[in-house]
């Protein structure tokens, strides 16, 4: 039997019973669609994690959080700035932070207030869109000037019917202290640490006075060469280890690159487990195909006997039934790919992020669906091919 003839016979047999074919391919269709949708969801989740982590700062940034233990509980601004002497560090921005109440007119809002130095702009890549930044004289004189985030500006001035974009020059109070807004910060969006637009930045010396604190809680660092990140982290930890007299619980160095790797690792593990579940559904679909093909062999026993009596060989029968199984699973895989793309689009709309379906995933899903047809179609095909013509013709 010619190859084309066998293919035509198999396709004709599959199309002759459309309802059975549709029901047979449902398991494969759902399995392939689930795999593609889960991979798209995983890619969307990974992209969202990357955006969230990158919003914490540039890839060449570090931060040291001071928790304090024992006799030494914090670092001074000068001690924090000394970390700039560590190899590969090109910028240091110490920060002290607190929650406070900001008020303009009759409007009051709870807001995060950070005391910063001028280096904050470069290290955190957080410029102003209008006005000026905190300057060295503001630090030296503990000036009551402030930079305001766009959301905080909207909360304070929008309620009073004024334009938040014209916040520069206006006066507000922070915990009862009068401040003049000298700059409106660029919008930075939200991150895993919270909103970057709902905050007010003031000189660090001013913050220490009004919040009655002398220590630094966070030190932001800018790394010159990311290839030396691990060595830089080790050097910073060595300095802090000495500062806190060997108490490693008094500080924590946050490496954005390591955080990204950890989050992606967790994300990949979860996605892998979900894909395993989808593969199980493909196997279940394959079992369904095998059952239908066994029924088909039973129904077509006389047909098989007639073909064998007319000269059809065992391999011809085997080939025909295998092709029928592959056609069912392959068609289910193709329809599953289309449904998977639709599902990935819907997931993107729901998650408000861009989904991505890798081409290799689509190819692997289709190849796996065809392979399921071969594996689970072999038993029925072999049973059909093994029938003896005399026994098949006697079948009633």
pLDDT, residue 273, reads 74
Q: Are the beta carbons of 332 and 29 closer than 8 angstroms?
A: yes
User: In what helix (H) or strand (E) does residue 74 lie, and over which residues does it extend?
Assistant: none
Q: How confident is the model at residue 144 (pLDDT cuts 50, 70, 90)?
A: very high
Task: Choose from 230-244, 298-312, 315-329, 378-392 the range with maximum mean pLDDT.
Answer: 230-244
Q: How confident is the model at residue 378 (pLDDT cuts 50, 70, 90)?
A: confident
Q: How confident is the model at residue 184 (pLDDT cuts 50, 70, 90)?
A: very high
Would you call 394 exposed, middle or buried from its count of C-beta atoms within 10 A (0-12, 13-18, 19+)? Answer: exposed
Which residues have a Cβ under 8 Å from the Cβ of 7 and sit 6 or more positions away?
323
The dihedral sign for the CA sequence 175, 179, 181, 184: negative
pLDDT, residue 105, reads 87
pLDDT, residue 264, reads 67
pLDDT, residue 143, reads 95
Six token digits for residue 150: 């766009």
pLDDT, residue 391, reads 58
pLDDT-wise least confident of 105-119, 206-220, 352-366: 352-366
| Of residues 111 and 9, more confidently modeled | 111
The pLDDT of residue 193 is above 60 = no
pLDDT digits (tens, 9 = 90+) for 22-65: 777 787 888 888 888 877 877 777 776 666 655 555 667 888 88
- What count of other Cβ atoms lies within 10 Å of the Cβ of residue 350? 11
Report the chain's mean pLDDT, rounded to a whole number. 80
| Of residues 187 and 51, more confidently modeled | 187
pLDDT digits (tens, 9 = 90+) for 113-136: 999 999 999 888 889 999 999 999
The pLDDT of residue 199 is above 60 = yes
The percent of residues in the chain predicted with pLDDT above 90, rounded, is 22
Q: How confident is the model at residue 4 (pLDDT cuts 50, 70, 90)?
A: low
pLDDT, residue 103, reads 93
pLDDT, residue 183, reads 95
pLDDT digits (tens, 9 = 90+) for 309-366: 767 777 777 777 777 778 888 888 888 889 988 988 888 888 777 777 778 778 888 8
Nearest 10 degrees: CA dihedral of 133, 134, 135, 140?
Answer: 170
Q: How confident is the model at residue 243 (pLDDT cuts 50, 70, 90)?
A: confident
Query: Tokens 């691990």 map to which residue?
Result: 230
3-state helix, strand, coil in the chain (%, to 5): 60, 20, 20
pLDDT, residue 260, reads 65
pLDDT, residue 390, reads 58
């Amino acid at each position: 039997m010619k190859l084309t003839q066998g293919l035509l016979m198999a396709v004709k047999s599959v199309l002759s019973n459309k309802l059975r074919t549709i029901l047979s391919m449902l398991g494969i269709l759902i399995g392939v669609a689930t795999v593609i949708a889960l991979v798209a969801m995983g890619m969307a989740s990974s992209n969202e994690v990357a955006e969230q982590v990158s919003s914490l700062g540039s890839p060449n940034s570090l931060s040291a959080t001071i928790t304090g233990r024992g006799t030494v509980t914090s670092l001074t601004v000068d001690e924090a700035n000394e970390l700039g002497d560590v190899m590969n560090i090109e910028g240091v921005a110490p920060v002290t932070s607190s929650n406070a109440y900001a008020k303009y007119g009759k409007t009051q809002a709870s807001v995060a207030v950070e005391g910063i130095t001028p280096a904050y702009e470069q290290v955190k890549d957080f410029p102003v869109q209008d006005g000026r930044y905190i300057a060295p004289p503001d630090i030296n004189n503990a000036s009551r000037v402030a930079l305001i985030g766009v959301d905080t500006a909207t909360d304070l001035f929008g309620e009073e019917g004024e334009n938040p974009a014209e916040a520069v020059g206006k006066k507000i109070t922070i915990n009862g202290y009068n401040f003049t807004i000298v700059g409106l910060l660029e919008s930075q969006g939200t991150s895993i640490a919270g909103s970057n637009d709902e905050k007010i930045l003031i000189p660090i010396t001013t913050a220490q006075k009004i919040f009655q604190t002398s220590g630094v809680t966070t030190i932001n660092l800018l790394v010159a060469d990311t290839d030396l990140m691990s060595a830089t982290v080790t050097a910073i930890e060595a300095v802090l280890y000495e500062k806190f007299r060997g108490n490693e619980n008094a500080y924590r160095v946050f490496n954005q690159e390591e955080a990204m790797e950890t989050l992606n690792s967790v994300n990949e593990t979860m996605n892998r487990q979900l894909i395993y579940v989808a593969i199980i559904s493909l196997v279940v679909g394959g079992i369904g195909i095998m059952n239908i093909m066994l029924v088909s062999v039973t129904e077509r026993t006389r047909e098989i006997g007639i073909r064998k009596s007319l000269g059809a060989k065992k391999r011809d029968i085997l080939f025909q039934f295998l092709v029928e199984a592959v056609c069912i699973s392959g068609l289910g895989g193709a329809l599953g790919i289309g449904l998977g793309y639709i599902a990935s689009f819907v997931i993107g709309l729901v998650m408000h992020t861009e989904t991505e379906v890798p081409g290799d995933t689509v190819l692997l899903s289709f190849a796996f669906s065809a392979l399921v047809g071969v594996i689970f179609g072999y038993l029925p095909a072999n049973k059909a091919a093994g029938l003896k013509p005399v026994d098949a013709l006697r079948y009633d």
